[in-house]
Amino acid sequence: MTFTVKVFQRCLLLQLPQKRVCTRNMSEVANEVLFDVKRKGGFMTLNRPKALNALNANMVGLITHKLCEWEKCLSFVVVKGTGRAFCAGGDIVNVTKGGPQCTHEGEHFFKTEYALNYRISKLSIPYIAIIDGITMGGGVGLSVHGRYRIATENTLFAMPETQIGLFPDVGGSYFLSRLGPLGMYLALTGHRLQGIDVAKAGVATHFIESSKLPEFLNDIENNATDDNCEEIINKHSKCLKSHDFSLSTKMGLINSAFSLATLEEMLEELKHDGSEWSLNTVKSLNKMSPTSLKISVRELREGKNKSLKECLQMEYRLAVAALKAKVSNDFYEGVRALLVDKDKKPVWNPPNIGAINDYILDLAFDNLPCPDDELQLP
């Protein structure tokens, strides 16, 4: 697998709560996202560089409130990150700290995060995400649902949730399913895309070299309105036609294997091909949570025919099932193995895909017991 555990582990380790968090003052909390208004635009900057701008509940609340305010009086929004990351994901260590017996905090985080993802998708003014750096998980949710996503040569995109016993969330069942077999491949393997590949794959809408971002931002700040943002972005963007996609030589295999209906069929197709790339992909998939893989396949298959709203509501049910260990304890085991004990030897349960039948999957996808507990979106 191209996506390395080392990169993902570093991104997540930097999300671990530090002792100093307990003594943070109100100013520190407020400054986790910086907000500025310049002429007709609102500019927000994720400002937790030491944590690779990992998204926490406070940041979700700040961003949600500000978007509601700005939509009424401004013409566009620009969001970017401080340091070498746009946003490395959500604060999953904090989300799982209560264990299956105490899931309130985790449920609240996922519910408000997914509601923010939906809010971004429905924003009536242009939303421009500059994903100049690491963009994973929650960071993808903060960007991919906006009207414009600008990648640079520094962009590192991945949805690596199956490594920790979770599933591609933040609307992953919606946008990954619309990338076809490539989306399924990215969802299951956590393969990372870099630089211009992020735009070639369709995750980003534009590509601008990082050295030209100051000029672009100055142009946006001084000249943009609600109806000319795309014109300005296009003026500064690089043409993609002359650049080859790094996976172009593998797309035949990706299309043939990851278009199949079941995980078992995908693995069999890869084994039948027998190439080094295919066998390495099988080896990588065998390291992932079997439950996560099976859930992810069904999630994307169902998401292809759902609206974003319906996808996020489905994902919230799956998130609650993961938090409550309804069908498996793999979410907690994955976090333990990768982040807490760091032995990188998760003991998945069930241990293989053959032990996971449709009845088990149905439990994860079931509606929540109380309708009021479902993710309510307008």
Active-site pick, 42, 81, 89, 90: 90
Residues 6+ apart with CB under 8 A from 65: none
89 in active site: no
183 in active site: no
169 in active site: yes
> For the chain, what is the HEC assignment?
CCCCHHHHHHHHHCCCCCHHHHHCCHHHHHCCEEEEEECCEEEEEECCHHHCCCECHHHHHHHHHHHHHHHCCCCEEEEEECCCEEECCECHHHHHCCCCCCCHHHHHHHHHHHHHHHHHHCCCCCEEEEECCEEECHHHHCCCCCCEEEECCCCEEECCHHHHCCCCCCCHHHHCHHHCHHHHHHHHHCCCEECHHHHHCCCCCEECCHHHHHHHHHHHHHHCCCCCHHHHHHHHCCCCCCCCCCCHHHHHHHHHHCCCCCHHHHHHHHHHHCCHHHHHHHHHHCCCCHHHHHHHHHHHHHHCCCCHHHHHHHHHHHHHHHHCCCCCCHHHHHHHHHHHCCCCCCCCCCCCHHHCCHHHHHHHHCCCCCHHHCCCCC
Active-site pick, 81, 106, 138, 183: 138
Active-site pick, 32, 107, 161, 299: 161
138 in active site: yes
Q: Which residues are catalytic?
A: 90, 138, 161, 169
